[in-house]
């Protein structure tokens, strides 16, 4: 094992034409597929000089092959994606395409295939011992279904990478941890009957909130019953309540399952500044999460792949992913945010209220606290009742 963390170089991704398509950069730009978001995220670790560290190895992103895509996706869907990428417009409703969330734009199919090829290389590179662990900022597209795009996701890099790993290493166990604010429904569906993949999703669940799934009762079928774990969180969940659910559910299940590989879809959209969600996490939780995940991985097989996931405040997403990268690589962050990055924020019209890697702690308003705590209690109790016995754990 090299002892290095592989980070997948996003330069080629950012140099492609397509993200400036008028469809994407109109009066209300697509929250995910917009160049400003990607540029802000990639420039922070570059300007912070983290990538100069000897413990980081930059690896090239690449597009997935058709054979790799077909490990999860239906071939008719893949062909339609390619057609749309060449400005075709057939069968849009059937495949969830040409919507506000999943628009058709120039080279869409190539952009969508980059995170997949990258995730495959990451998981196989870690499995083979080429890297200590690996991270891809622009992955974690967990809503894509077998034959349908959804929630900004065209191809499901998480599901395909795990399936490729299982194909090469049969019998190995994978823990898929999803802390994106939205339920990891597409990845859950890919392994809903498979006891060799334990999917755990911590996400907001409220009336009208996308995708509307992810209740504790969704626990798998057949041999996979008890291996799909959902921890729904109410709006306004703060650091303390989030962490209570993580320690009471995720940690004991992780230790009992003893995975051979861990695939973590981080998501920066549970941060309190995200415009598309209602949780109240601060950067402190992402510091703690990445350090704890790193610790738990090192108690086991020491194999970890991380993808960025969602995050629609470009400043918060860039900070969260850079924090996670530094912690899994064991690299200290610089004391302050680089001035040139703050200048870049201002040039894009983005607010940068603090120049450090933390934000102010928050507390739930007293009038909401009892309801939120009760909802978290109920979620923990349901998961412990439904899932823990399958894994030999007591409530």
**Cα–Cα distance for residue pair 44/233, rounded to 1 Å:** 30
pLDDT of residue 85: 59
pLDDT of residue 244: 97
- Find out whether 271 and 281 touch, Cβ atoms under 8 Å: yes
**Cα–Cα distance for residue pair 261/125, rounded to 1 Å:** 12
**Is the backbone of residue 258 left (phi > 0), alpha (psi -120 to 50) or beta?**
left
pLDDT of residue 366: 82
Phi, psi for 259 (deg, rounded to 5): -70, 150
pLDDT of residue 91: 65
**Cα–Cα distance for residue pair 271/267, rounded to 1 Å:** 9
**Cα–Cα distance for residue pair 122/51, rounded to 1 Å:** 17
pLDDT of residue 20: 84
One pLDDT digit (tens) per residue for the chain, 395 residues: 568 999 999 999 999 988 888 888 878 899 999 999 999 999 999 999 999 999 999 999 999 999 999 999 999 999 999 887 555 555 677 899 989 999 988 899 999 999 999 999 999 999 999 999 999 999 999 999 999 999 999 999 999 999 999 999 999 999 999 999 999 999 999 999 999 999 999 999 999 999 999 999 999 999 999 999 999 999 999 999 999 999 999 999 999 999 999 999 999 999 999 999 999 999 999 999 999 999 999 999 999 999 999 999 999 999 999 999 999 999 999 999 999 999 999 999 998 877 789 998 887 888 889 999 999 999 999 999 999 999 999 87
**What are the residue numbers of the active site?**
143
Strands (E), 269-334: 304-307
CA 370 to chain centre: 30
- Find out whether 184 and 176 touch, Cβ atoms under 8 Å: yes
Phi, psi for 325 (deg, rounded to 5): -55, -45
Sign of the alpha-carbon torsion through 395, 376, 252, 180? positive
pTM confidence score = 0.97
Q: Which residues pair with 304 in a beta bridge?
A: 133, 262
pLDDT of residue 355: 74
pLDDT of residue 23: 84
State the architecture of 5-391 in CATH terms: 3-Layer(aba) Sandwich (3.40)
């Amino acid at each position: 094992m090299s002892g290095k963390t592989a980070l997948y170089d996003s330069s080629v991704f950012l140099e492609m034409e397509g993200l400036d398509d008028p469809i994407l950069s109109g009066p209300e730009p697509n929250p995910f597929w917009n160049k400003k978001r990607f540029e802000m995220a990639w420039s922070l670790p570059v300007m912070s000089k983290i990538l100069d560290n000897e413990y980081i190895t930059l690896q090239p992103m690449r597009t997935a092959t058709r054979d790799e895509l077909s490990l999860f996706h239906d071939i008719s869907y893949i062909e339609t994606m390619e057609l749309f990428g060449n400005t075709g417009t057939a069968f849009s409703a059937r495949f969830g395409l040409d919507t506000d969330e999943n628009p058709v734009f120039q080279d869409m199919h190539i952009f969508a295939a980059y995170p997949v090829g990258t995730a495959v290389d990451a998981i196989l590179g870690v499995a083979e011992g080429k890297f200590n662990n690996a991270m891809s900022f622009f992955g974690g597209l967990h809503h894509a279904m077998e034959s349908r795009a959804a929630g900004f996701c065209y191809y499901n890099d998480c599901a395909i990478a795990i399936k490729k790993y299982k194909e090469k290493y049969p019998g190995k166990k994978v823990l898929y941890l999803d802390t994106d604010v939205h339920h990891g429904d597409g990845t859950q569906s890919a392994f809903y009957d498979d006891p060799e993949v334990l999917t755990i999703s911590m996400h907001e669940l409220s009336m009208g909130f996308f995708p509307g799934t992810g209740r504790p009762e969704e626990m798998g079928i057949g041999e996979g019953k008890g291996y799909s774990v959902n921890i729904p969180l109410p709006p306004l969940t703060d650091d303390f309540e989030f962490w209570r659910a993580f320690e009471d559910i995720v940690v004991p299940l992780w230790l009992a399952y003893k995975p051979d590989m861990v695939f973590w879809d981080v998501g920066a959209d549970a941060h309190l500044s995200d415009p598309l969600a209602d949780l109240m996490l601060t950067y402190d939780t992402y510091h703690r999460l990445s350090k704890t995940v790193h610790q738990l991985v090192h108690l086991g097989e020491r194999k970890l792949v991380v993808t960025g996931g969602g995050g629609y405040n470009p400043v918060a997403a860039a900070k969260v992913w850079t924090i996670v990268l530094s912690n899994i690589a064991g690299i200290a962050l610089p004391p302050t945010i680089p001035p040139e990055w703050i200048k870049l924020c201002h040039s894009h019209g983005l607010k940068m209220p603090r120049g450090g890697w933390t934000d102010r702690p928050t507390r739930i308003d007293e009038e909401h606290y009892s309801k939120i705590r009760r909802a978290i209690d109920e979620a923990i109790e349901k998961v412990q009742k439904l899932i823990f016995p399958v894994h030999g754990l007591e409530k």
